Homo-oligomer: A and B are copies of this chain.
Amino acid sequence: MAIIVCGHKNPDCDSITAAIAVADLLSKRGMEAVAAAQGPCTPDAKFVLDKFGLAAPAIETDATGKDIALVDTSDLSQTLDNLDKGKVLFVVDHHKLGDVTTPNPLEMWVWPVGCTGTIIKAMYEFYGIEIPKGIAGALLCAILNDTVLFKSPTCTDADKKAVEGLAKIAGVADFKALGMEMLKIKGSVDGIPAKDLMYRDFKDFNMGGKKVGIGQVEVLDLTLLDKVKPALLEEVKSSKADGRHTVMLLLTDIMKEGSEILVVSEDASLVEKAFNGKVANNSMWVDGCMSRKKQVVPPMEKAFA
């Protein structure tokens, strides 16, 4: 039975490329493994796969009866449904340690770095397996994507070093230009319905027993969102009405390096406490805030504790 290698719900570039790379690595270690994703590729992930000649992973949503390798998450709310009815054999992740548990021993590679791709490069080296050119390019893009061209505070020296090595293997001379091209596609909002923008990169968290949804839209310049912003706030409100205590949508300005956060909450003072600021008209600017994982989830969890 092939091991299903799969990332989180609403798959992003890192989840998609990590699934492809870990499936390749496990196969070359002698196991049968296939890449999967819980949904279709985002436009930036599709650009990356097309650029490096890789096929999109098969869609999988249920773990029942399957052997599983988790990438880019260890949160039950993010993994395949019925994870307890499958068998988790591997976890490769760069987030906080979530609530996945196993009855069996397993192999885990979890590092506090900016992208799963950085860990996967180290895994290839550890096992003495050559990284295929196309996969090197895909991992390179995933790191540039997750670290927002090294600008995110989640970016570490290990991420930068991995990008240098991967660019050589992939034969990419100007990785910054490639990264900008990808982020332009990622940040493109023309003709995309507000609902799609809202849920393109959206995760639910359990904070002190409350359901908290946090989405993020990254654009090169926040003015690109001016027209769609009222519709986005309506989406945040209806997401809140859908059984959540708090919903936040980060509108991240990559060049200005900060985020406007749209907030609808049963108790907005918790959000104000988390960021030491004021919410006015369901909105709050947080200077320097680029990373949900590092700059939003930890202070929110603290405020809800």
Which A residues form the contact surface with B (CB < 8 A)?
A: 88, 91, 94-113, 126, 154, 293-294, 297-298, 301-302
Docked complex Cα distance between A294 and B126 (Å): 26
In the complex the two chains form, is B101's CB within 8 Å of A96's CB?
A: yes
In the complex the two chains form, is B95's CB within 8 Å of A105's CB?
A: yes
In the complex the two chains form, is B107's CB within 8 Å of A111's CB?
A: yes
In the complex the two chains form, is A105's CB within 8 Å of B302's CB?
A: no
In the complex the two chains form, is A99's CB within 8 Å of B101's CB?
A: yes
**What residues of B have a CB within 8 angstroms of the CB of A126 in the complex?**
126
**What residues of B have a CB within 8 angstroms of the CB of A110 in the complex?**
91, 106-108, 110
How many copies of the chain does the oligomer comprise? 2
Question: Which of B100, B154, B298 has a CB less than 8 Å from the CB of A103?
Answer: B298
Question: Which of B95, B99, B297, B301 has a CB less than 8 Å from the CB of A99?
Answer: B99
In the complex, what's the smallest C-beta–C-beta distance from A219 to chain B, in angstroms?
A: 25
**What residues of B have a CB within 8 angstroms of the CB of A106 in the complex?**
96-97, 110, 112
In the complex the two chains form, is B102's CB within 8 Å of A97's CB?
A: yes
In the complex the two chains form, is A105's CB within 8 Å of B301's CB?
A: no
Question: Which of B88, B99, B108, B293 has a CB less than 8 Å from the CB of A105?
Answer: B293
Question: Which of B98, B102, B301 has a CB less than 8 Å from the CB of A96?
Answer: B102
